[in-house]
C-alpha cells in the first residue's frame, strides 16, 4: 500500500488542473447561477482527464515518451510545430493568469499593489522550483492544495438537500445558452492539455517503469478524483450560500467567503492558503508544461532531475515563461479574462493533443502487453467524441453568451 | 464567466434589457458586500481581506455608475437610468465605509443595514423595469 | 542481412541520444546522397533548427527560414554520419558522445553559468 503514498504527482497535476484560478471562479459561478444543476459536468471532466492522464502516464512509463515526444514523433515536424505554437500560447495565458491569481491572493493577505505582488509571487515560485527537487515540488503544492477541502466541509456544513444534489448529476434539459456555455467550459477546463504534458513528463521525472503502472493508475484516479471532489464542494457551497443571496462571483476574492461564512476567520485563512497553493501549483504546472513541450519537441535535454546545469535550455524556457507571464500581466488584462481565453483557445488544441496519445497507447508495437485494455479503449474513444463536441461548441457558445456576460 | 464588458458607448441608446442587467449587477454587488459587512459586524473576518475586497466591490459599483451614466438614453427609461446611477453611487459610498473602517464592528453593522436598504431600492427599481413602462 | 525499415516511421523525428544517454536533438531530417538512377545512400542524420524550413509546406518555407534560420552546416544544422548510429529503438542511439559529434553545443555553453548558481 506504499503505492497510495506516491500519488503526489497526480495530486499536483490534478489540483493545478482542477482548482486553478479559472476553475475556482468558474465552479463558484456555476453554483451561484445554476445551483446544483451543473454538477454532472464535473464527473465528465474527471473521468476524461483521468483516462487520458493514465494513458499518457502509461505511455511514458513503458516507452519513456512523454506526450510532446509522442506528438512530434506521430505527427511530424509541421503539424507538431502547429500544436507546439498553439499550446505555448495557451500556456502563456495560463501562467500569466495563475501568477495574477497568486498576486490577488497575496493582496488579500497583505494589502499592497498588484504588480508588486505579481513580481513577488513569480520570484517566490521561481525560488521554490529552483531549490526543490521535483518530488518536493509535487508534494508541496499537491498536499497543501488539499487545504481546499475546507470548501467541501463548508458544503457539508449546511446539511445539503441530498435529493437536489443527486438531481444535479443528471444533465438538465435546459435550453439556456449560458447554461451550456458553463457546461462546456467546465469540461474544457478539466481537460486542458497542459495537465497531460506535465503529468506524462512527471512520470519520466519520477523514473516510472512498467512495474509502476499501478502507481500511475492510482495517481490518475485518486489525484483527479480529489480534484473533482474539490470542484463539486465548491459548486455545492456556492449553490447553498451564493445562489440564495443573489451573489455573482466575479472576483477571485469572492470565493473565500464560502469558507468564511460557516467558519469565520479560520475558514477565511484556510481558503486563502489553499487557493494560494493550488494556484501556485497551477503556475508551476503550466510553465513546466511549456518548457517540457519546447524541449521535447526540439530534442533538448530536459527535466528537473537533470538539474539546471544539466538541462540549461529547458531551465531557461520555464524561467522565460515566468518572465513573459509577468509581461502579459503588465498589460493590465484581468487574470480572470486571461484564464477564460486560455480555456476556450485550448479546446482547439484538445483533439490534436489527445489523438496521438490514444493512438500510441493502443499500439502494441510500442506498448506490447501494456497497450490499452478494454476500459481504456472504450473510454478513450468515447472521450475523443466528447472532445470534438467540446472543441466545436466552445467558441460559438463563447460568442453567443458574450463570454458569459449574458 | 460573467464578464460585464458590454461597451455601451457608441452602440446606440441604452436598452431596457441592458439597464436591467446593469441593475442586476448592482444587486449582486450589494449582496456580496452585505456578506462581507456581516463578517465585520460579527468580528469573524480579517481586516485586510475586508479592505481589499470592499475596494474591489466599491470599484464595481463605481464602474457600473460610470457605464450607465455615459450611455445615451431614450426618454422612456431615462428616469430609471438616473435612479440606477444614484443607487450605484450610494453603493460605492457605503461599501467605501467598509474599506475605511475594515475592523470596526459598528461600521460593519451600519453598512449591513445601509446595504439592506439600498438592496430594497434596487429590487423596487428592478420591478419597475421588468414590469414595463 | 539487409533489414528493411521505414525511414519516416523509424527514424524521422525521433529523439537522438548519445552513448551516455544524453539527449542531443531530434532527427530533423535525413540526408540521402546519390544520383538519379543510381543507388542512393543514407549518408546520415540532420539535426538542428536549420533543417526545419525544408520540411515545412512549400508556401511556408520562406517564413520558416526567417524564423528558424537557413541550413548552415556546422551552425544551425549538424550532420551525424550514419556510421555513428548504434541502434534505432525508442530513441536513435549513437555510438559516440554528443560533444565529439558536435551536438548539444548550446546546452554545453550554458552549463557553466548555470552551474555557478547555487542549486543549479
What is the average pLDDT value for chain A, to the nearest integer? 91
Whole-angstrom distance, CA of residue C116 vs CA of residue C120: 7
Which positions 232-271 of A are in contact with B (Cβ < 8 Å)?
Answer: 245-251, 253-254, 256-257, 260-261, 264-265, 268-269
Contact B4 A247 (CB under 8 A): no
Burial bucket for residue B50 (CB in 10 Å: 0-12, 13-18, 19+): buried
For chain A, the chains sharing at least 3 beta-carbon pairs closer than 8 angstroms are B, C
Per DSSP, the three-state class of A77 is helix
| Chain-chain contact of A108 with B52 (C-beta, under 8 angstroms) | yes
| All cell numbers assigned to B25 | 449587477
Contact assignment for A272 to B49 by CB distance below 8 Å: yes
Please list every residue in chain A whose beta carbon sits closer than 8 Å to the beta carbon of residue B36.
257
Q: How many CB atoms lie within 10 A of CB B56?
A: 23
Touching subunits for chain B (3+ Cβ pairs under 8 A) = A
Structural domain includes residue A42: yes
**How confident is the model at residue A406, as a pLDDT?**
44
The three-state DSSP-derived secondary structure of A296-329 is HHHCCCCCHHHHHHHCHHHHHHHHHHHHHHHHHH
**A residues 338..357 contacting B (CB < 8 A):** 340
User: Which residue, chain included where needed, has cell 476553475?
Assistant: A23
Asked if the model's pLDDT at residue A399 lies above 80, the reply is yes
The pLDDT value recorded for residue A61 is 95
Question: Between residues A331 and A365, which one has the greater pLDDT?
Answer: A331
pLDDT the model gives residue A404: 63
Task: Search chain C and give the residue with CA nearest A299.
Answer: C25
Where residue A143 falls among pLDDT bands split at 50, 70, 90? confident
Write out chain A residues lying below 8 Å of C47, CB-based: 299
C48/C106 Cα distance (integer angstroms):
11
Domain that holds residue A194: 2-400
Closest-CA distance, A282 to chain B, in angstroms, reads: 19
* A201 has a chain C CB within 8 A of its CB: no
* pLDDT value of position C115: 81
Residue A329 lies in a domain: yes
Band of pLDDT at residue B4, cut at 50, 70 and 90: very low
Residues C90, A312: C-beta atoms closer than 8 Å: no
Residues 68 through 87 of chain A touching chain C, CB cutoff 8 Å = 69, 72-73, 76-78, 80-81
Q: Are B and A touching by the rule of 3+ CB pairs within 8 Å?
A: yes
Q: Let me know if chains B and C touch, i.e. at least 3 Cβ pairs under 8 angstroms.
A: no
Show the domains of chain B with their CATH numbers.
16-130 (1.20.120)
Check if A125 contacts B (Cβ < 8 Å).
no
Beta carbons within 10 angstroms of residue B52's beta carbon:
21
Q: Determine, yes or no, domain membership for A141.
A: yes
E strands within chain C? Answer: 15-17, 23-26, 29-33, 41-47, 78-81, 85-88, 92-94
Has residue A405 been placed in a domain?
no
Instruction: Judge whether A224 lies within some domain.
Output: yes
Which residues of chain A are within 8 Å of residue C24 when distances are taken between CB atoms? 299, 301
For cell 500500500, what's the residue?
A1
Touch of A by C (3+ CB pairs closer than 8 Å): yes
pLDDT at B34: 97
CA distance A146 to A227: 9
Whether C90 has its CB under 8 Å from any CB of chain A: the answer is yes
Range with the poorest average pLDDT among A259-263, B16-20, C5-9: C5-9
Render pLDDT for B95-126 as a digit per residue (tens, 0 to 9).
999 999 999 999 999 999 999 999 999 999 99
Q: Is 0.90 surpassed by the pTM of this model?
A: yes
Sign of the Cα pseudo-torsion (B22, B26, B31, B36, in order): positive
User: With an 8 Å Cβ cutoff, is C21 touching chain A?
Assistant: no
- CB of A81 within 8 A of CB of A296? no
Are the beta carbons of A255 and A106 closer than 8 angstroms?
no
- Predicted ipTM of the assembly: 0.92
Residue A11 has pLDDT above 80, yes or no: no
Q: Residue A5: which of A113, A129, A142, A100 has the closest Cα?
A: A142
* Closest residue of chain A to B116, computed from CA coordinates: A245
Best mutation target among C113, C114, C115, C117 (most A Cβ atoms within 10 Å) is C114
Cell numbers at A359, concatenated: 493512438
Helix (H, G, I), strand (E, B) or coil at C46: strand
Q: Does A192 fall in a domain?
A: yes
The three cell numbers locating residue A103:
498576486
Q: How many domains does chain A have?
A: 1
> CA of B26 to nearest chain A CA: how many angstroms apart?
10
CATH number at residue A239: 1.20.1740.10
Residue A260 has pLDDT above 50, yes or no: yes
Interval B28-64: pLDDT, tens: 999 999 999 999 999 999 999 999 999 999 999 999 9
Question: What would the mean pLDDT of A272-296 be, rounded to a whole number?
Answer: 95
- Give DSSP secondary structure letters for A164-222: HHHHHTS------HHHHHHHHHHHHHHT-THHHHHHHHHHHHTT--GGGHHHHHHIIII
Q: Could you tell me the pLDDT band of residue C9, with boundaries at 50, 70 and 90?
A: confident
> Where does residue A131 rank: exposed (0-12), middle (13-18), buried (19+ CB within 10 A)?
exposed
Å between C40 CA and nearest CA of chain A: 23
Task: Report yes or no on A406 lying in a domain.
Answer: no
Is residue C119 left, alpha or beta, with left meaning phi > 0 and alpha meaning psi from -120 to 50? left
Domains of chain C in start order, with CATH, are 11-116 (2.30.30.240)
Q: Tell whether A96 is covered by a domain.
A: yes
pLDDT at B3: 42
Amino acid at each position: 500500500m506504499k503505492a497510495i503514498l506516491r500519488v503526489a504527482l497526480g495530486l499536483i497535476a490534478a489540483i493545478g488542473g482542477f482548482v486553478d484560478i479559472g476553475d475556482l471562479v468558474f465552479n463558484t459561478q456555476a453554483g451561484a447561477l445554476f445551483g446544483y444543476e451543473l454538477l454532472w459536468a464535473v464527473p465528465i471532466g474527471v473521468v476524461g482527464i483521468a483516462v487520458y492522464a493514465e494513458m499518457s502516464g502509461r505511455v511514458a512509463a513503458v516507452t519513456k515518451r512523454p506526450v510532446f515526444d509522442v506528438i512530434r514523433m506521430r505527427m511530424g515536424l509541421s503539424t507538431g510545430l502547429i500544436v507546439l505554437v498553439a499550446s505555448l500560447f495557451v500556456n502563456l495565458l495560463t501562467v500569466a493568469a495563475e501568477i495574477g491569481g497568486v498576486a490577488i491572493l497575496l493582496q488579500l493577505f497583505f494589502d499592497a499593489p498588484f504588480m508588486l505582488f505579481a513580481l513577488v509571487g513569480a520570484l517566490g515560485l521561481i525560488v521554490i522550483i529552483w531549490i526543490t527537487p521535483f518530488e518536493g515540488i509535487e508534494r508541496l503544492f499537491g498536499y497543501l492544495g488539499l487545504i481546499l477541502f475546507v470548501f467541501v466541509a463548508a458544503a457539508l456544513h449546511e446539511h445539503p438537500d441530498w435529493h437536489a444534489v443527486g438531481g444535479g448529476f443528471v444533465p438538465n434539459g435546459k435550453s439556456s445558452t449560458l447554461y451550456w456555455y458553463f457546461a462546456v467550459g467546465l469540461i474544457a477546463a478539466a481537460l486542458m492539455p497542459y495537465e497531460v504534458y506535465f503529468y506524462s513528463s512527471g512520470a519520466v521525472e519520477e523514473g516510472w517503469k512498467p512495474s509502476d503502472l499501478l502507481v500511475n493508475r492510482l495517481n490518475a484516479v485518486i489525484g483527479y478524483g480529489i480534484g473533482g471532489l474539490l470542484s463539486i464542494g465548491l459548486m455545492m457551497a456556492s449553490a447553498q450560500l451564493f445562489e440564495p443571496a443573489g451573489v455573482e462571483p466575479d472576483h477571485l476574492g469572492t470565493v473565500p467567503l464560502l469558507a468564511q461564512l460557516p467558519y469565520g476567520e479560520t475558514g477565511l485563512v484556510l481558503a486563502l492558503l489553499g487557493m494560494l497553493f493550488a494556484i501556485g501549483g497551477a503556475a508551476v504546472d503550466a510553465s513546466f508544461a511549456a518548457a517540457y513541450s519546447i524541449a521535447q519537441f526540439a530534442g533538448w535535454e530536459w527535466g528537473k532531475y537533470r538539474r539546471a546545469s544539466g538541462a540549461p535550455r529547458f531551465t531557461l524556457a520555464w524561467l522565460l515563461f515566468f518572465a513573459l507571464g509577468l509581461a502579459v500581466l503588465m498589460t493590465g488584462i484581468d487574470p480572470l479574462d486571461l484564464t477564460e481565453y486560455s480555456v476556450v483557445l485550448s479546446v482547439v488544441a484538445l483533439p490534436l493533443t489527445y489523438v496521438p496519445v490514444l493512438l500510441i497507447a493502443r499500439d502494441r508495437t510500442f506498448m506490447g502487453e501494456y497497450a490499452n485494455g478494454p476500459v481504456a479503449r472504450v473510454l478513450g474513444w468515447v472521450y475523443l467524441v466528447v472532445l470534438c463536441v467540446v472543441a466545436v461548441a466552445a467558441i460559438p457558445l463563447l460568442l453567443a453568451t458574450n463570454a458569459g456576460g449574458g | 464567466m460573467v464578464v460585464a464588458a458590454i461597451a455601451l458607448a457608441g452602440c446606440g441608446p441604452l436598452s431596457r434589457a441592458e439597464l436591467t442587467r446593469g441593475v442586476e449587477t448592482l444587486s449582486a454587488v450589494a449582496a456580496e458586500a452585505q456578506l462581507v459587512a456581516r463578517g465585520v459586524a460579527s468580528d469573524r473576518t480579517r481586516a485586510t481581506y475586508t479592505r481589499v475586497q470592499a475596494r474591489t466591490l466599491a470599484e464595481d459599483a463605481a464602474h457600473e455608475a460610470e457605464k450607465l451614466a455615459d450611455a445615451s438614453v431614450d426618454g422612456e427609461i431615462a428616469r430609471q437610468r438616473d435612479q440606477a446611477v444614484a443607487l450605484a453611487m450610494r453603493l460605492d459610498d457605503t461599501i467605501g465605509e467598509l474599506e475605511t473602517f475594515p475592523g470596526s464592528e459598528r461600521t460593519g453593522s451600519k453598512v449591513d443595514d445601509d446595504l439592506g436598504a439600498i438592496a430594497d431600492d434596487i429590487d423596487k427599481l428592478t420591478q419597475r423595469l421588468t414590469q414595463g413602462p | 542481412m539487409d533489414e528493411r525499415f521505414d525511414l519516416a516511421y523509424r527514424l524521422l523525428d525521433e529523439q537522438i541520444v548519445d552513448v551516455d544517454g544524453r539527449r542531443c536533438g531530434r532527427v530533423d531530417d535525413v540526408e540521402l546522397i546519390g544520383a538519379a538512377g543510381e543507388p542512393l545512400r543514407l549518408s546520415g542524420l540532420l539535426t538542428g533548427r536549420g533543417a526545419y524550413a525544408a520540411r515545412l509546406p512549400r508556401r511556408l518555407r520562406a517564413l520558416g527560414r526567417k524564423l528558424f534560420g537557413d541550413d548552415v552546416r556546422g551552425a544551425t544544422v549538424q550532420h551525424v554520419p550514419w556510421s555513428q548510429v548504434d541502434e534505432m529503438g525508442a530513441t536513435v542511439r549513437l555510438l559516440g558522445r554528443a560533444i565529439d559529434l558536435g551536438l548539444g553545443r548550446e546546452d554545453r555553453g550554458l552549463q557553466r553559468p548555470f552551474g555557478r548558481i547555487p542549486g543549479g
